[in-house]
Amino acid sequence: MRRTAARLADGREIVYFDDTPGAAPRVAVDERDLPRAESVSQIRRDPLTGEWSVLAAFRQTRTYKPPAGLCPLCPSTPGRPTEIPEADYDVVVFENRFPSFSQHAMGEPEPGLVARAPGLGRCEVLCFTSDHTASFGTLSPERVRTIMDVWADRTAVLGALPGVEQVFPFENRGDEIGVTLAHPHGQIYGYPFVTPRTERMLTVARERGGSPMGEVLAAERAAGTRVVAESAHWTAYVPTAARWPVEVHVVPHRQVPDLPALTAAERADFADLYLGVLGRLDGLYDRELPYVAGWHQAPVRLDRELGWLHLQLFSVLRAADKLKYLAGSESGMAVWINDVDPDDLAARLRSAPPRYRR
């Protein structure tokens, strides 16, 4: 894989990752007239819960559901420059033009009842392919292996930046999820704090003297009733206490804190297993399943020995034509009520015919 870093017209970094043999050198220059990248996002700490919220009102102007011919994530063409200056690409990462967090965040920390601080961090966009009509599930295993390497690369890079405490690579897919750009892509957030879900998992791990993931994984593999797929290094299963109508966890058999810690064999093995899982998810309702898929990684500095890397994928589609809405209990009290039995979902996924593989 060849890695090439460059700058966009407003100073944002763009990094190309080429896995195609003989791919042309990345030398195109972004000739757009863009103002210098700045960010005025701010984080504020809720005095009642201790959790941080992010205020980024300038993101209201970000691109919203453009037609395919105006997609900003497709390669540039003569007379139509995009976020990627090149005429083609394999995998590319660049700093988000409308970031929730940035190394250019302005302002000073403000102590007080509601503590405030600039949104120091980093937000990146990761394009999986230049093919606008593709999806993650239609990629080749070799391309997924490249993306695994890119996730690991960016986790290490963002984790070394000032202010970043946790790195979260994720993908949103589908209108029902709220995706505003249809091109197959994901994002990577470098948070300036440890997120609430991770804080809670670490608290449980400290109370138990270690991550309970090992026990959970062993129990799921022994029972087998909720296992969707298994390989030499990974198991995909529906969690017993699933919150979402469709939810799958993909967990490595070896405890590692983050993506950079995976071996080459583990990364390659993930690619084959995950593509099979995505195929069955698309076969569940015989359509592309809208979903969020994100990597839970240990914080950059704290409690790394308590973390256990895993991918969580979930969907709001509770039936082929019905959505799960977050109502009062979920939105107001963070108590999830699931309409789908996890054992039944796992059985249906195991029997679902894989769809949408090219």
DSSP 83-132: SB-SS--SEEEEE-SS-SSBTTB----B-SSS-EEE-BSEEEEEE--S-T
Which tens digits make up the pLDDT trace of 281-306?
999 999 999 999 999 999 999 999 99
pLDDT at 23: 87
Which tens digits make up the pLDDT trace of 149-195?
999 999 999 999 999 999 999 999 999 999 999 999 999 999 999 99
Instruction: List the helix and strand counts (H, then E) for the chain.
Output: 6, 16
If pLDDT is split at 50, 70 and 90, which confidence band does 62 have?
Answer: confident
How far apart, in Å, are the Cα atoms of 310 and each of 170, 184, 233, 268, 298? 12, 22, 12, 15, 10
The answer to the question of residue 358 being in a domain is no
E strands present in 239-309: 246-252, 291-296
7 and 132 together in one domain: yes
173 and 249 together in one domain: no
What's the CA gap between 96 and 102, in Å, rounded?
Answer: 9
The answer to the question of residue 219 being in a domain is yes
**Cβ–Cβ < 8 Å for 170, 186:** yes
pLDDT of 68 higher than 80: no
Q: Which two tokens stand for residue 135?
A: 């999806």
- Work out how many domains the chain is built from and give that number: 2
180 and 233 together in one domain: no
pLDDT at 358: 44
- pTM given for the model: 0.96
Q: Which residue type, as a one-letter code, is found at position 323?
A: L
The answer to the question of residue 8 being in a domain is yes
Strands of the sheet containing 91-95, edge to edge, are 2-7, 13-18, 91-95, 122-127, 185-191, 166-173, 291-296, 310-315, 246-252, 234-237, 227-230
Sign, CA dihedral 193-199-201-206, equals positive
For residue 282, give its domain range.
198-351
How far apart, in Å, are the Cα atoms of 48 and each of 45, 52, 113? 9, 11, 10
Q: What are phi and psi of 274, to 5 degrees?
A: -65, -40
Q: Is residue 296 annotated as part of the catalytic site, yes or no? A: no
CATH assignment at residue 142: 3.30.428.10
Q: Which of 104, 132, 183, 185 is catalytic?
A: 185
Residue recorded with tokens 């990094």: 15
